[in-house]
Structure 1
C-alpha cells in the first residue's frame, strides 16, 4: 500500500456500500486451509454455474485496481460526486466455513488491513470491519477489535453463516454490544442457500442476493431482535432485497398465525427501524423504499466497483425526482446521522 493520500472534498455525498479486496489475507487463508478453500470454490461454482463464473472472473480481474488502489478509488469518487465512502471487505472474505482459529485470525487481520486502507485517506474513507459470525461466542471480541481497537465505524455481516441465522439466540451478546457502542452493522449477503436452483442466468445474484436480504431481515424482525435492542443501527444492502416491497405478507402472517408472533408489532413497523441502501436499480423501487421505510432510513449505496452496482449512484438518485430535501438526506444526511453516536469502551 502507498502512503497517505488526499482527495478534494466534493459535495457532502456519502456512499455506504463500497468494497475493498484484501489479497494478502486471501493468500494466507489459501496457505492455511487449501482443502477448505477448494471446497468453497467448488460450492461457489455449483451455486453460480460455470457460465456466470466465466464472466465474473474477468470482471473482477479488471476491477482489481479499483478494489485495492486508494488513488484509483478517490478518482472514481470524484467523478461520481461522492465525498466519502464506507469501505467494507468484499464478501468473499467472509469465509463462513472457517474453523474457529482461522476465522478469528481472518477477522482480526481484516480489521487491521481495512483500518490501514482507510487511514490512507481518512478525510474520504470510513471503514467497516469483520467478525467471525459462524463462531458467535467470539463476535463481541472482534466487534470490539474493529471499533475500539482499530477505530472502524462498525462491522459487515452476512445474511447467515453455517447454522447461524440472525435469529440465533447465540447472537444476543453481539446485538447488545453493538447497540451499546452505537456502531453500524452492514448486512450484506454472500451466496444463497438455494444453491443449484440459481446456477444459470446469474440468478445466484439477481435473485439470490435479494432473497438472502429478505430472509435475514425476516429472521431479525420476527425473532424480536429489534424489540430487545432498539438502538441497533443496521444498514441492509441492496435495498433490503424483496422484503420492503412484499412486507404486507409478513404483516398478514403476524396477524393470523401465532408462530409468526415473535415480535411485538407488525413486521412493517420494523422497516422504520432499519436503514436501506439505494442499490435497487430503478426509480419506482426507490420511491417504494422511501415510502415504507421513511425518508430518514434510506442511504446512498453503489456496490462499488462491481458490475451489479451503480456506476453513477448520485445521478440514479436524482433520476428518481424525489423532493429535494429527501434527496439531500439520502445523498448524505442520513448516513452522517448514523455515525453521530460516540463510541466508548
Structure 2
C-alpha cells in the first residue's frame, strides 16, 4: 500500500461555528495572519484554496486524486488553520472534540484507503490527554496532529509531559505540522511566511523536543515531522556542536544528531538532493511519503518524486510503503 502521510481536510461548517461563537477573536486572528503573511499572499492563498475545495472536503474527489497520483492510502489531517491556538479553553476543547468527530466521519467513508489524525487543544495542556484519548480510543484515529507551538506552550514545556507519556503508551502518531511562523512581519513578503517560515518552525519545534530530553524520557514516541523536518536535518551539525561546547545545550543525553533516528520525516522537501540527505542522516526506515495534498506548496506527483530521487530500490519501496505501515500497525486500537 503506497501511503501518503501528509494530506489535509477542511471543515467549513466547523469553522463557521467558531466564527459564530467567537467573532471578535476570529477577527483578531485574521489581523495577525494579515500581518504575518501579507495581503498579497493571503489573496493568492484564498484563490488557491477555493479552487481545491472539492479535494479538501469531498471523499470522492479525494479518492480520484489519489488514484491519479498512484497513492493507495492517505493519512488525513485538518488544515492547520483549524488549530485556533488563540481559542480559550471552552472553545478549544469543543474544537478538538468536533474535529476528531468530523475527521473520523470523513475517513469512515473509505476506511480501506483513509486513516485519520485528530487534534488536541495544545494551548491548554491540562486538557490534552483527554482529547488525545478521544481521538485515538474514542474515535479510532491513528493519532493527532499538533503545531510547532501554541501561545506560550513550546513542545519542551513541562506541562506536556503527560501528553508525551500517553502518546507513547498508546503507540499513536504525533504529526508535527506548523501553523504559520512566529517571525511575523519579517516574512510578510514574497511568501516567505511559508517558504522560510515553515522550515524554521519545524526546526525550532524539533529542537525543543530534542534538547529538552523529551525523546529520552519517552523513547516510544512516534513523532512524524512535516516538510522533512524543515532545516534541522541538513544543519544538525550545528546542534551537535552546541551540545559539545555549551552547557545550557546539554539537557539531552546524547548528541542531537542521534535523535533524528528516533523521529520520522515526510518527503515534502521539493528537491532530490535534500531527500537523499534526509535518508542519509535519519535512516531509510525513518522517511515516509508525504505530499501536502492538495495545496500548491505540496508535491504534485509525490510517488514519482521519490522514485526519481536516485535512491536504492529497497529504500524507495520502504519510503512509499513499509515505513508508514509499520507506524500504524503497532498502535493501540480503539
Instruction: Give TM-score scaled by structure 2 length.
Output: 0.99
Residue of structure 2 in register with 1:164 after alignment: 153
Report the counterpart of residue 23 of structure 2 in structure 1. 34
Alignment deviations for residues 64-117 of structure 1 (CA, whole Å, 9 cap, x no partner) = 001001000000000100000000000000000000000000000000000000
Aligned to 2:76: 87
1:338 pairs, out of 323, 327, 334, with 327
Q: What is the distance in 2 between the residues matched to 1:51 and 1:125?
A: 34
Alignment partners' CA distance in 2, 1:129 and 1:90: 11
Once the 2 structures are TM-superposed, how far is the Cα of residue 18 of structure 1 from its aligned partner? 0.1
**Residue 191 of structure 1: SS of its match in structure 2?**
coil
Q: For 1:231, what is the secondary structure of its paired residue?
A: coil
Deviation at 1:27? 0.5
Give the counterpart of 2:225 among 213, 236, 239. Answer: 236
Number of residue-to-residue matches in the alignment: 334
Q: Which residue of 2 is the match for residue 8 of structure 1?
A: none
- Provide the residue aligned with 1:77 in structure 2: 66
Q: Distance in 2 between matches of 1:332 and 1:343?
A: 20
Are the counterparts in 1 of residues 72 and 113 from structure 2 also a CA contact under 8 Å?
yes
Q: Which residue of 2 aligns with 1:146?
A: 135
Q: 1:321 offset after TM fit, Å? A: 1.6
Report how far residue 54 of structure 1 moved: 1.5
CA contact (8 A) 2:155 2:208 kept: yes
Report the Cα distance in structure 2 between the residues aligned to 1:65 and 1:51, rounded to whole angstroms: 24
Per the TM alignment, residue 319 of structure 1 is displaced from its structure 2 partner at its CA by 1.2
Aligned runs of 1:308-323 on 2, under 5 Å? 308-323=297-312
Structure 1 runs, 4 residues or longer, greater than 3 Å off: none
Helix, strand or coil at the partner of 2:285: coil
Partner secondary structure for residue 296 of structure 1: helix
Q: How many angstroms does 1:342 deviate by?
A: 3.9
1:19 pairs with one of 1, 4, 8: 8
- 1:44 pairs with 5, 30, 33, which one? 33
Distance 1:74 1:216 in 2: 32
Alignment TM-score, normalising by the size of structure 1: 0.96
Consecutive unaligned residues of structure 1, counting only runs of 5 or more, are: 1-11
Q: Provide the C-alpha distance between the structure 2 equivalents of 1:307 and 1:84, rounded to a whole number of angstroms.
A: 20
3-state secondary structure, aligned to 2:181: coil
